Amino acid sequence: MKPTLLILAAGMGSRYGGLKQLDAMGPSGEVVLDYSVFDAIRAGFGKVVFVIRRDFEEQFRTQIGSKFGDRIAVDYAFQDINDLPAGFSVPEGRTKPWGTAHAVLAAEGVVNEPFLMINADDFYGRDAFAKIGSYLATERPADGKSHYSMVGFYLKNTLSDHGSVARGVCTRGADGMLSSVTEMTKIFRTPTGAENRETEPAIPLTGEEVVSMNFFGFTPDIFGHLRAAFTQFLETSGTDLKSECYVPKEVDVLIRDGKADVTVLESNDSWFGVTYPEDKADVVASIRSLVAAGAYPENLWA
């Protein structure tokens, strides 16, 4: 069974100031997720599922989904802030989505095979897709534990010069497996590396830390784990107008509880992405360099 690519594309783009999922970055008008789909097809994925919002469905289907229909199976799932477990409701004044765990849960009805979860606005590189695609196609042990995977990137290569970023900072055990993920939501670049200013005092970072960029390989049993985690999140933080339930944090809980393990895969490619409008020029230049080097064609879908 070929794996599925699950692209989280429902974000509001509050720091970017618009729908960065639809903002052209490539030389022939490609958006960042075009390159993810292209790399996934090269890596043997059989389907792509976009998690989007209903309010831009028509625009997204026309500008994005229509490109891939004759190259890979395409499906959609819809993240809705009102889609909550029985007994819960959206607190008055909340407009912010519930986070990546809630976004993944939106796709439960259309994903029945091993899948790769990624962000729509991150460029991960061909090698990352090839590595995790191969892993997802390999049969997992039936030992009562969930077996997942991820590709990690060095923090120093994932920072913005224009503001803070949120990253899941990872540690690995002696066996190379993921041992923990610490979600840090206000990481700034500094002359000596980086620091997380989420708390006082700020936490210094070297920049050499391996971080999660939401590039996780899952099997469908993750949906049950995330349903339970999201319900617990709502019980403890559901009245907070800006709280979010993050996939890396819930993966960390599963590891600590002995319910899952995560294989950390090495990638030789550099990550880059757009958080702020000022990041766009760097992304455009990076893609142009890759095209000039022959890594991608001038026009992906010609």
- The whole-number pLDDT of residue 279 equals 87
Q: Where are the domains of the chain?
A: 4-143+214-264+271-293
Residues in the chain predicted with pLDDT less than 50, given as ranges, are 12, 14-17
The model's pLDDT over 82-118, given as tens digits with 9 standing for 90+, comes to 999 999 999 999 998 999 999 999 999 999 999 999 9
Among 129, 120, 169, 104, which Cα is nearest to 19's? 120
Give per-residue pLDDT as tens, 31-42.
Answer: 999 999 999 999
The whole-model pTM stands at: 0.91
Write phi, then psi, for 288 (nearest 5 degrees): -60, -40
Name residue, tokens 């959609």: 76
Place of tokens 């809705």: 80
Q: Can you give the pLDDT at residue 16? A: 42
CATH of domain 4-143+214-264+271-293: 3.90.550.10
Between CA 211 and CA 96 the distance in angstroms is: 24
Backbone angles phi, psi at 280, to 5 degrees: -60, -45
Helix, coil or strand: residue 90: coil
Residue 153: CB partners within 8 Å, gap ≥ 6? 210, 211, 213, 215, 267, 270, 271
- What pLDDT was estimated at residue 277? 84
